[in-house]
Amino acid sequence: MVFLDIHTHSAARNDSEIIRVRNLRPNETISPNTFCSVGIHPWSVPENYSGELLAVREGLNRDEVVALGECGLDKVCSTPYEKQRKAFLDQIDLSEEFGMPVLLHIVRAWDDLLAIKKQVKPSQPWIVHGFRGSEEQARQLIRAGLFLSFGCRFSPEALRLSYESGIALLETDENIKDIREWYYEAAECIGCSLQELQRHTLALGAGLFPRLRLHKHFSAIR
């Protein structure tokens, strides 16, 4: 069965065992026969980001692009927060226009994120990538209708709660660990079999990322 890595910076191609969604910045080259997401990272919002936003729009027209992101809010980075917020809202508009799920980078901006979600009422899924928060924080986000993706640093309680709630995904992000190793560790932490975890993430991924289902690499779960 296939391993789904929904957010990675690795340039490795998909193979018979691993489906990778590679994170790209605007204007990066989109390679054929790959899966990727494209978005304006809050660390990298320029003074005038209209060109980057146009590049994101153009990327969303490519079948290889399965999600918008990563984008979001980061109160620790040097980018002025209001600029981040505006760029985030503009990208949410694109997500709704193109019917694309969003991969979120959120640092110390949870209240603002939830307020924006309540105001916008998005029709597309929002997935928090690299979630490291507590079980209680996970519960709050789950109640708000968010999905959570876990990398190699995580709260075991939050991972178990998210899996039991049917909203957990896995990723490698910038970690060099093989996604297969991470699945084995996560399954042990959750208390389920590797195959059960694979079935869960693949079924969830198929529901959240419609374009994945259009490609032969994802035919294993049909």
> For residue 41, which of 79, 5, 14 has the smallest C-alpha distance?
79
Q: In this structure, are residues 122 and 95 in contact, taking their beta carbons and an 8 Å threshold? A: yes
Give me the residue spans of the domains in the chain.
Answer: 3-221
Please tell me whether the overall predicted TM-score, pTM, comes out greater than 0.85 for this model.
yes
Residue 82, burial from CB neighbour count under 10 angstroms (0-12, 13-18, 19+): exposed
**Residue 221: per-residue pLDDT:** 55
**Residue 12: per-residue pLDDT:** 80
> For residue 83, which of 37, 43, 115, 120 has the smallest C-alpha distance?
43
Residue matched to tokens 């694309």: 100
| Alpha helix positions (H), 32-106 | 50-60, 81-98
For the chain (length 222 residues), average pLDDT per consecutive 10?
93 85 95 94 97 98 97 98 98 99 98 98 98 98 98 96 99 93 97 97 96 68 53
Look up the CATH architecture of domain 3-221. Answer: Alpha-Beta Barrel (3.20)
Calculate the CA 76 to chain-centre distance.
Answer: 20
For residue 68, the cross-strand partners are: 38, 102
Backbone angles phi, psi at 71, to 5 degrees: -140, 170
**Residue 215: per-residue pLDDT:** 60
**Residue 76: per-residue pLDDT:** 97
**Residue 98: per-residue pLDDT:** 98
